[in-house]
Chain A
């Protein structure tokens, strides 16, 4: 079993839809969770990060962590064509740890 599992998609939604992106993990020692967005032919950019179980909101983006189920989610509200990208989850044993484990990424297309 891979440490981090992420459905690669592709996922295609109409503009304005709520998007749900998910990752599961097997190592219950992971404490710090991140989401990245990667546009085609670009490097990843950090979108959100959190330690906690529960929700963290930033504009149209909400990161959700359920440590008991070893499941994390990223929700995008009112999705826009500019949200079309690959979204990667990542996690580490602690916030200051530079050793990161990534999911394979989910490719999202938001259609106008």
Chain B
């Protein structure tokens, strides 16, 4: 079954305590992205990756890091989380061929930073 998995699904942490949210896909997709979703602000792209070792900033990259050392994994790192990073986070993978666009989103990670 094609899927994108994220861990943890829920996390409550404190300001400044480094954390990593993992994302893994089993479809061999080249493209992967991270988004945050906030009430009234919608879905905003944090970082994206078009292949292994190729990453770029989305609209709201401040305070986040990513790495893409292997195709299936795309972790999101918060080096020093702050309360304004409290949000619902989604990882996504994508295959785009020019004729077909296949996208899968993970189930989401709800993060609370106190």
Tell me how many residues of A have a C-beta within 8 Å of chain B. 22
For the complex, give the distance between the alpha carbons of A78 and B59 in Å. 36
Chain B at the A interface: SS class? strand
Tell me how many residues of B have a C-beta within 8 Å of chain A. 27
**With A98-B50, A98-B94, A102-B44: A43-B101 Cβ-Cβ less than 8 Å:** no
In this assembly, does A42 line the interface, its C-beta being within 8 Å of a C-beta of chain B? yes
Produce 1/0 per residue, A5-18, CB < 8 A to B.
01010000000000
**With A34-B101, A45-B105: A104-B33 Cβ-Cβ less than 8 Å:** no
**With A43-B105, A46-B103: A98-B42 Cβ-Cβ less than 8 Å:** no
Closest to B42 in A: A104
* Contacts from A to B (Cβ < 8 Å): 6, 8, 34, 41-46, 49, 88, 90, 95-96, 98-105
